[in-house]
């Protein structure tokens, strides 16, 4: 049975998300090319029924909408300068074909030994890659109008509080902490297996990183068999690339892992916004990149907190990964359309 879990707005299009997809979908790539067989919702005219679906599926109903909030903000902050929109043609309803998330055609060496140093393929933009867009850029340029609205509102409020310069420093500091945290995680993971990492001798992290590392120490204990770290993945057929944080086993399951720092608690997967799409995009690229001789179906988003409170590990099952992969394909196609209309 299919269960309609929630409704996600993708570039202004309401996409019903389903669970309980057939597991057999992942063993044969042809299944991915015929989603209708598995999801009756994929044939729904989502534009026509979007408001209905939204009102039915929304558990919590707020009297405030982006529209009413915008009117209020305009009153307080002045008129909004709207970004130019590019959608001149008919609204896209989803990708015409679903490219396989897994690459089943190539001979894969699943028996590849997992010991040894993790792979780290550096990003080399010089080798004809300059025109290949990145996962981050694609996600940033295909944010939904709601996402753009809330992000802009947040930014305005922060600037009102901190001033332009204060906000700039605040943002730089968040980025700096994120980078330091990534380096520290990398250092721990390359220092050995969970068993022989010397956890009693706590390494001296920079003060800004100490709390984050404490926050995820219980999660790192379950991460082993690290295969790749900060490694470039490129989907040659779909023409995009990215740098995956980590590929390793979490509680025995091979995952693409993304490490995140956060100021706010993110106890649920839905609190991580586009992060699951990012992870699915990396996994799909890795699965279709000849540099990697194995396939990864699962994902993990690890959220760390500065005050050292227990971090969250959000598991992305292969079923969920496939759902987010489909969402990624929509975003990718939207980006490609944007690009061609600008050319």
Partner DNA sequence: GGATCCTTCTTCTTCTTC
Please give the positions annotated as active site.
Answer: 245, 258, 260
**By the rule CB under 7 A, 335 interacts with DNA:** no
Dist CA 15 CA 298 (whole Å):
22
Question: Of 73, 186, 274, 289, which one interacts with DNA (CB under 7 A)?
Answer: 274
Whether the Cβ atoms of residue 236 and residue 289 lie closer than 8 Å to each other:
yes
Q: Considering only residues 133, 203, 308, 310, which one is a binding residue for DNA as defined by CB under 7 A? A: 133
Q: Residue 137, interface with DNA (CB under 7 A)?
A: yes
Q: Is residue 127 near DNA by the rule CB under 7 A?
A: no
Alpha helices in 78-206 (DSSP H): 135-141, 145-189
Greatest alpha-carbon span in the chain = 63
146 is a site residue for DNA (CB under 7 A): yes
Torsion of CA 36, 39, 41, 46, to 10 degrees: -60
What is the C-alpha separation between 48 and 308, in angstroms, rounded?
Answer: 47
How do beta strands 4-10 and 13-18 pair? Answer: antiparallel
Element at 316 (helix H, strand E): strand 312-316
Which one of residues 30, 75, 264, 342 is an interface residue with DNA (CB under 7 A)?
264
Q: Which one of residues 39, 100, 182, 189 is an interface residue with DNA (CB under 7 A)?
A: 182
Q: In the complex with DNA, which residue's Cβ is closer, 8 or 225?
A: 8
Q: List binders of DNA among 277-306 (CB under 7 A).
A: 278
Q: Does 263 bind DNA (CB under 7 A)?
A: yes
Site string for DNA, 197-236 (x = CB under 7 A): ----------------------------------------
CA dist., res. 313 & res. 318, Å (int): 16
Instruction: Report the C-alpha gap between 17 and 84 in whole angstroms.
Output: 29
Enumerate binding residues for DNA (CB under 7 A): 60, 62, 64, 69, 123, 125, 130, 132-137, 140, 146-147, 150-151, 153-155, 171, 174-175, 178-179, 181-182, 241-243, 245, 258-264, 266, 270-274, 278
């Amino acid at each position: 049975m299919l269960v309609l879990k929630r409704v996600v707005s993708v570039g202004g299009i309401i996409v019903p998300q389903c669970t309980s997809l057939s597991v057999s979908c992942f063993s044969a790539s042809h299944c991915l090319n015929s989603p209708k067989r598995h999801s009756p919702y994929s044939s729904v005219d989502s534009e026509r029924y979007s408001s209905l679906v939204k009102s039915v599926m929304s558990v919590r109903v707020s009297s405030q909408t982006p529209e009413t909030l915008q009117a209020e903000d305009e009153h307080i902050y002045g008129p909004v300068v709207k970004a130019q929109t590019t959608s001149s043609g008919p609204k896209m309803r989803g990708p015409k074909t679903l490219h396989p998330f897994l690459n089943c055609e190539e001979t894969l060496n699943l028996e590849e030994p997992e010991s040894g140093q993790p792979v780290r393929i550096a990003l080399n933009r010089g080798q004809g890659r300059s025109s290949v867009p990145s996962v981050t850029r694609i996600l940033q340029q295909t944010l939904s109008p709601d996402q753009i609205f809330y992000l802009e509102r947040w930014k305005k409020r922060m600037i009102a509080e901190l001033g332009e310069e204060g906000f700039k420093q605040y943002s730089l500091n968040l980025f700096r902490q994120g980078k330091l945290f990534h380096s520290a995680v990398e250092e721990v993971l390359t220092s050995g297996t969970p068993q022989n990492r010397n956890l009693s001798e706590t390494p001296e992290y920079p003060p800004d990183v100490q709390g984050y590392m404490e926050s995820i120490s219980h999660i790192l204990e379950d991460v082993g068999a690290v295969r790749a770290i900060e490694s470039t993945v490129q989907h040659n057929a779909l023409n995009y690339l990215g740098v995956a944080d980590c590929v390793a086993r979490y509680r025995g399951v091979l995952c693409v892992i993304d490490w995140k720092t956060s100021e706010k608690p993110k106890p649920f997967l839905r609190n991580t916004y586009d992060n699951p799409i990012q992870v699915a995009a990396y996994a799909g690229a890795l699965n279709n990149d000849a540099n990697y001789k194995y396939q990864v179906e699962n994902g993990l988003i690890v959220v760390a907190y500065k005050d050292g409170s227990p971090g969250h590990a959000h598991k992305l099952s292969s079923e969920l990964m496939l759902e987010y992969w489909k969402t990624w394909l929509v975003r990718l196609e939207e980006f490609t359309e944007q690009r061609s209309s600008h050319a």
